[in-house]
Amino acid sequence: MKIQSKAVHAGDRRKPIGQVPVTTPIFSSSSFIADTTEELDQILGVEAPGFCYARYDNPTNFALEELVTELEGGAGALACASGMSAIQVAITAALLDRRKSIVAANALYGATIKLMMNVMAPFGVEVRFVDICDLEAVQAAIGEEKPGCVVMETISNPLLRVGSISKVAELTRAVGGALIVDNTFATPLLVRPLEVGAAMSVHSATKYLAGHGDVLGGLVVSDADHAPIVRSLSRTYGPVLGPFESYLTMRGVKTFPLRVERQCNNACRVAQFMATHPQISRVYFPGDPAHPDAKTIAGMFPQGLFGAMVSFELKDAGRAEVFAFMDRLKMVVRATSLGDVHTMALYPAIASHRDVSPKQRQRMGITDGLVRLSVGIEDVNDIIDDLAQALG
């Protein structure tokens, strides 16, 4: 073999030798070689396990998917390039052989609303929004629409409402539909939607699962009926996560129960502080005994764990006052995400719900004085001190 050929081939494609690595390594290869063409044919035809092409599967991604499948109690998972690609895959999988109709919670992440209204509706998908916490309204909407799928969030963004997943799932199954739950805010530590009847549980892996602000990714965890469909869709149009991002997400997942438990505890303290501050007119927090969905929360969440999101309204505030408050924050990070180890503040009107019209935001209850806080793992007294000085 000439040096030009050695430079291309030497050292690669060796079978693993010796001990198994403790941490799954990053497999950055775009394709994989089988021992024989017959074996490759079987892998390509999904008749035998193995890897052949990174759009279909990758060992690093596979390890992350196996991990999250276990966490959620599912039958299979797909690691996607973003949370939005994950929700699109889930909805497409649900509607593939069903009526092209969606009943969706009227309180959702702004980009999810935009996906359904601006992308799916023009292709003939009917979309109807309903208060997911009003079971009579949900039953009526599902009965009238007979939707292919219902879409909801475990904890709604940004007003932190909590609908009954088990009851909505029962209503959805009764008409042959599939329930899709965005479980990003709750994480599998608090709620596992598939265990109470959902067909698919979706995550923005960018948030609590990866948890360190260094990954963009999404995950779809499916039941046995939908896992093959999700995988087949992925093989066709390839919304897959890169192996390096899968590695980082898997690393983050190893500590997510510790982080989220700390964040939940900190959020309780922060919510209590905000509820007594004279510059705050209202606090939204699932742990509030007066929360409108307190009964559902008590039956669905582990004791003492209510998530790490706290939303609040500044008294008599609009855009200028909110901007001034956020600019006075010193430790709390002003950024468009959540679930990181550091506490983060976001103004929904310019970020998560920027693409929702002002009138629709008002109908959703998102006022111009609303701020969303993602509580981190810092010392809670430092978080409170920073909020206190910024409030004045």
Any idea which residues carry the catalytic annotation?
Answer: 55, 109, 182, 207
Among 185, 374, 384, smallest CA distance to 270 is for: 384
3-state secondary structure at position 42: helix
What sign does the CA torsion over 64, 56, 242, 21 have? positive
Angle at 347 between CA 344 and CA 351, to 5 degrees: 100
Structure tokens at 50: 């193995």
Give yes or no for a contact between 162 and 293, defined as CB atoms under 8 angstroms apart.
yes
CA distances from 167 to 42, 90, 133, 179 (A): 42, 20, 10, 11
Structure tokens at 250: 């898997």
Among 82, 61, 352, 91, smallest CA distance to 203 is for: 82
Cα dihedral value 251, 253, 257, 258, nearest 10: 20
Buried b (16+ CB within 10 A) or exposed e, 354-376: eebeeeebeebebbbbbbbbbbb
d(CA 103, CA 173) in angstroms, rounded, equals 13
3-state secondary structure at position 312: strand
**For tokens 């004045």, what's the residue?**
392
3-state secondary structure at position 18: coil
**For tokens 């998908």, what's the residue?**
125
DSSP strand pairing (149-153 vs 178-182): parallel
Among 222, 306, 297, 217, smallest CA distance to 268 is for: 306
Give yes or no for a contact between 95 and 149, defined as CB atoms under 8 angstroms apart.
yes
Give yes or no for a contact between 354 and 299, defined as CB atoms under 8 angstroms apart.
no
3-state secondary structure at position 311: strand
Label residue 160 left, alpha or beta by phi (over 0 means left) and psi (-120 to 50 means alpha).
Answer: left
